[in-house]
Structure 1
């Protein structure tokens, strides 16, 4: 894939459109006989304060799409646009890292917690990367854990928490930097149905209350009813 030049789309700046937009996204892995088209011409818009659910069977391209929207990967062709006019998919790697630190929160299926750190220390990691002052870090970590109902579990390490509690720590970590975009890849995939429903209810509430543009992938049809909009993928295409 050729190196792209960063640029701004003034039409995006001038509009009051979505916070995040994917335009004609293609992602191809490999070449020749091993070439795989993980995404083929997918487009979507993610408004503020709305939960967008990306559904589809395993291998349909859900994770690939979220990786492109969150700046963890770059499209083979197409664009990922931000509401300030920047084309995320064309920024230099250093600029993409800055966007990910300042504007995007991530929630992972595997929780992604550091085993040797307490719940509070795990939540604090993004603020340390941003070099947030110590007192401000402490205040924001406390607020984030209280937001997800874990104010009494600040000193516990991941192995001392249930799966649902670990995922709530992951959500607190994603929100502690006050992002306006939230990317969650199968956040209920390792949880039982009741705990998964609780986590989805929490994500919906925080999305609406905080005005976050949220994109959540899932293969669970039961969770579709909690979405503001649903994007369905099959074989890398939107259907």
Structure 2
């Protein structure tokens, strides 16, 4: 299903990322430009090593481009820095950390859950880092777990959950801070096809209902049908928009 968006939340212009120099130079990404709107699910596909993960890392401020810029659009509901468009490369480290904590959610293939913490405690981690007060944390964690259908598993630890349930905890953790951007790198890579489809459908529904701008990298062609738009990356270049 296609979604019509009017607000650009994330915009990248001319992104390139070069590792090394001289004979050892590797051009992981070359002159990639893309915009993602509120409520839009963009899926990035391409062979292993094509630059999908590099693109997500640059979009999320986990890495800085060699050339090019990444812009986070102004939030009409925000006060302070979020009320104006920001270029991630122009932010200091503290400002960038703050943006990643509160405005960008990440979902990883490896789930990334802390084994000794319960599902609820794992989801709560971003709010603790953001110093949200206890009552607000409890309310948001409960809301996030309910959104992914795990409200009855709040006290279970990761080893007590299936792979699909662990990834849903990862999704809840990514969304608990109510980010404007969601980035997911092979989020269904460790799941069977049926569970993968369910997790991807959950992501799609949450993105549409919450107006999040989402970019998801995947190898799974069956998941492409759920996208609002598909980007194809080969050898570091965007070949289809």
Quickly name the TM-score band, shorter chain normalised: over 0.9
Q: What are the within-5 Å matches in structure 2 for residues 82-161 of structure 1?
A: 82-84=72-74, 85-161=85-161
* Residue aligning to 1:41: 31
**1:160-179 matched pairs, under 5 angstroms:** 160-179=160-179
Q: Distance in 2 between matches of 1:205 and 1:233?
A: 25
Separation in 1, partners of 2:23, 2:211:
45
User: When the two structures are superposed, what TM-score results if normalisation uses the length of structure 1?
Assistant: 0.92
Q: Deviations over 1:9-49 (max 9, x none)?
A: xxxxxxx6410011010000011111100000011101000
Deviation at 1:90, TM superposition (A): 2.3
Q: SS at the partner of 1:19? A: strand
Match of 1:213 in 2: 213
Q: Is the 8 A contact 2:45 2:219 kept in 1?
A: yes
State how many pairs are aligned: 224
Partners in 2 of 1:223 and 1:142 — Cα distance? Answer: 28
Determine if the alignment matches structure 1 residue 81 to structure 2 residue 65: no
What residue ranges of structure 1 are gaps of 5+ in the alignment?
Answer: 1-15
Aligned to 2:3: none
Q: Report the alpha carbon displacement of residue 235 of structure 1 after superposing the two structures with TM.
A: 0.3
Deviations 1:133-176 (A, max 9, x none): 11111111011101100011001000000000000000000011
Which residue of structure 2 aligns with residue 224 of structure 1?
A: 224
The one of 23, 37, 49 aligned to 1:59: 49
RMSD: 0.8
Q: Distance in 1 between matches of 2:224 and 2:126?
A: 30
Match of 1:69 in 2: 59
Query: How far apart, CA to CA, are the structure 2 residues paired with 1:219 and 1:141?
Result: 30
Structure 1 residue 200 displacement after superposition: 0.5
SS of residue paired to 1:59: coil
Measure the CA separation in 2 of the matches of 1:218 and 1:125.
Answer: 26
